């Protein structure tokens, strides 16, 4: 068996989600090639070559791959794909965008967001917002998989010595083009990479009150998240959303503040190692998953917490 992992990277380095995808590939077994598709991505390729367990790094370095346009990346992967038994990438907005296109062009199913590897053709994946885990078996010759970022322990970023091979395939069907991006500059860790997350919900009452969480987050080195209710109410932007339709996180510590704990939110954070809930409603469902619950008014408890850190 040989496995192609399409790396999640920023041209300079490889994102931690790639290390998780490679861990899932190792659980399947076989040679692991990593594709770096980007523009000016030699540094990312060099970083990928050092990852433990990688056989070859394929570097497709071309302006056509600068902005992760799904049509271009998909055609590149399809050109490489028939040599592999498995094609995998992380469940990121980029992976979710191009990989189903790859599967359709290869006329195979995609198995999304796998959380476990049972065998080379059988995988576990959450359905219904993680309220059920399905074990599914693919009958296709090529298995196309996205991998849940919290489900496997990442492989070591160092210790490997893979060869780097240039791929000269340039695919750009001209169906879409990049205009601009507004990436929020974070002074704090990214949600999916943070070891501590403090999230606010509808109980925060407005966007300004998230400053209470920011102060705590700064002291803990934490990322700040939000429930869909807080996003829908316009308190904070959507990229802070933790949940079924937002980001899936599993930090060492998750502090839920003023979040009632709708199943869609729990779906995004219940694999966290330690969960703290602060809510004034003692019947809030969040307390059913919390290791430590504090029934209190967040506007008193959070400043108090802040002062004790």
Partner 1 sequence: MKVLVAAKRVVDYNVNIRVLSDNTGVDLNNVKMSLNPFDEIAIEEAVRLREAGTAEEVIVVSVGTSACQEQIRTALALGADRGILVETDEDMQPLAIAKVLKAIVDKEQPSLVIAGKQAIDGDNSQTGQMLAALAGLGQATFASQLVMGDGEATVTREVDGGAETITVKLPAILTTDLRLNEPRYASLPNIMKAKKKPIDVYTPEDLGVDVTPRVKTLKVEPPASRKAGIIVESVEELVDKLRNEAKVIS
> Which part of the chain contacts partner 1 (CB under 8 A), choosing from 30-38, 48-56, 64-72, 150-158?
64-72
Shortest separation between residue 210's beta carbon and partner 1, angstroms: 17
Strand positions, DSSP E, 184-234? 196-200, 223-226
Residues of span 139-198 touching partner 1 by CB under 8 A: 139-140, 173-184, 186, 190, 192, 196
DSSP 206: S
CB of 292 to partner 1, least distance (A): 5
Shortest distance, position 124 Cβ to partner 1, whole Å: 9
Total chain residues near partner 1 (CB under 8 A): 92
Show the tokens assigned to 62.
């071309």
By CB under 8 A, the residues from 3 to 62 that bind partner 1 are none
Which residues neighbour 31 within 8 Å (Cβ) at sequence distance 6 or greater? 1, 2, 3, 55, 56
Looking at the Cβ atoms of 34 and 284, the one nearer to partner 1 is 284
CB 8 within 8 A of CB 41: no
Binding mask 110-129 for partner 1 (x = CB under 8 A): xxxx--------x---xxxx
Residue closer to partner 1 by CB (options 30, 100) is 100
For 228, the enclosing helix (H) or strand (E) is helix 228-232
Measured from the CB atom, the residue of 83 and 273 that comes closer to partner 1 is: 273
Least distance to partner 1, CB of residue 104, Å: 4
Q: CA torsion 190→97→169→28, rounded to 10°?
A: 80
73 lines the binding site for partner 1 (CB under 8 A): no
Instruction: Please state the closest distance from residue 57 (CB atom) to partner 1, in A.
Output: 23
CA distance 190 to 220: 14
127/156 with CB nearer partner 1: 127
CA dihedral 80, 104, 85, 167 (to 10 degrees): 10
Comparing CA positions, the residue from 7, 18, 9, 6 lying closest to residue 155 is 18
Among 73, 103, 226, 230, binds partner 1 (CB under 8 A): 103
Question: What span, in angstroms and rounded, lies between the C-alpha atoms of 141 and 227?
Answer: 40
Please give the torsion angle defined by the CA atoms of residues 37, 9, 152 and 228, in that order, rounded to the nearest 10 degrees: -110
10 Å Cβ neighbour count for 10? 12
CB of 301 vs partner 1, minimal distance in Å: 5
Q: Is 74 in the site for partner 1 (CB under 8 A)?
A: yes
Q: What tokens appear for 133 in the block? A: 């885990």
Q: 307 CB contacts (<8 Å, ≥6 apart)? A: none
Site for partner 1 in 222-251 (CB under 8 A): 228, 231-232, 237-239, 244-245, 247
Among residues 39, 93, 163, 206, the one that binds partner 1 under rule CB under 8 A: 93
Closest contact distance (angstroms) between CB of 77 and partner 1 is 11
At residue 77, the 3 state secondary structure works out as helix
| Residue of 26, 66, 79, 100 interacting with partner 1 (CB under 8 A) | 100
Site for partner 1 in 246-305 (CB under 8 A): 247, 252-253, 263-264, 270, 273-276, 282, 287-296, 301, 304-305
**Which CB, 179 or 211, lies closer to partner 1?**
179
Exactly one of 101, 188, 202, 280 binds partner 1 (CB under 8 A); that residue is: 101
Both tokens of 185, joined, read 């500059």
Over the Cα atoms of the chain, what is R_g?
20
Identity of the residue, 49 or 152, whose beta carbon is nearer to partner 1 in the bound complex: 152
Which tokens belong to 179?
């205009």
């Amino acid at each position: 068996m040989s496995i192609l992992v399409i790396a999640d990277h920023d041209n300079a380095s490889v994102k931690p989600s790639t290390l998780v995808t490679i861990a899932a590939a190792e659980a399947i077994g076989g040679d692991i090639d990593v594709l770096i598709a980007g523009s000016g991505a030699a540094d990312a390729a060099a970083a990928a070559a050092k990852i433990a367990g990688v056989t070859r790094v394929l570097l497709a370095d071309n302006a056509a791959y600068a902005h992760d346009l799904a049509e271009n990346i998909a055609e590149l992967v399809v050109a490489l794909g028939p040599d592999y038994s498995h094609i995998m990438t992380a469940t990121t907005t980029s992976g979710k965008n191009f990989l189903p296109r790859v599967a359709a062009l290869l006329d195979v199913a995609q198995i999304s967001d796998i959380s476990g590897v049972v065998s080379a053709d059988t995988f576990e994946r959450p359905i219904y917002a993680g309220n059920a885990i399905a074990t599914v078996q693919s009958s296709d010759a090529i298995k196309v998989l996205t991998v849940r970022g919290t489900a496997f322990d990442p492989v070591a970023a160092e210790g490997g010595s893979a060869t780097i091979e240039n791929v000269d395939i340039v695919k750009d069907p001209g169906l879409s083009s990049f205009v601009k991006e507004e990436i929020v500059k974070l002074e704090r860790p990214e949600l999916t990479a943070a070891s501590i997350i403090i999230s606010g919900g509808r109980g925060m009452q407005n966007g300004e009150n998230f400053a209470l969480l920011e102060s705590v987050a700064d002291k803990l080195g934490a990322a700040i998240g939000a429930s869909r209710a807080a996003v829908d109410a316009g308190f904070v932007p959507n990229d802070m959303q933790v949940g079924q339709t937002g980001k899936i996180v599993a930090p060492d510590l998750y502090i839920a503040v003023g979040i009632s704990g709708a199943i869609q939110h729990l779906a995004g954070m219940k694999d966290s190692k330690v969960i703290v809930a602060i809510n004034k409603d003692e019947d809030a469902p969040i307390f059913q998953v919390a290791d430590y619950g504090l029934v209190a008014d967040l506007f008193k408890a959070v400043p108090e917490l802040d002062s004790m850190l």
